[in-house]
Amino acid sequence: MGVKVGTMVQPNTGLTQDIYQGFSWPCFFFGALWYLYKGMWGIGLLWVALAIVSGSALHWVGILFIPFFANRQYLEHLGSKGWQVKAVEP
């Protein structure tokens, strides 16, 4: 999961989402499914396509490498959708 560093809010609906930094254990265990669940379809489908084309070799490389960047990518994804930082924990 990483370390919780704050909360983001969707100003139009008031929905909130915790934000984390560091290694993403859910991404490590679920791989591309984590990206698809979070709505990051481009990265998730690219990961699936590369895994199929490479005979799953790139999937295993991704499992070891991508979780270090997944939380940051999710934060940027939310920001691109209009979410705003509500609170940052010290």
Q: Which residue has the higher pLDDT, 46 or 57?
A: 46
How far does the chain reach from its first CA to its final CA, in angstroms? 18
Segment 26-54, tens digit of pLDDT: 999 998 899 999 999 999 999 888 888 88
Helix (H, G, I), strand (E, B) or coil at 3: strand
- Cβ-contact 6, 88 below 8 angstroms: yes
Instruction: Give the closest residue to 10 by CA, choosing from 89, 72, 80.
Output: 80
**Residue 90 confidence class, pLDDT cut points 50, 70, 90:** low
Identify the weakest region by mean pLDDT among 14-23, 53-62, 67-76.
Answer: 53-62
The predicted model scores a pTM of 0.85
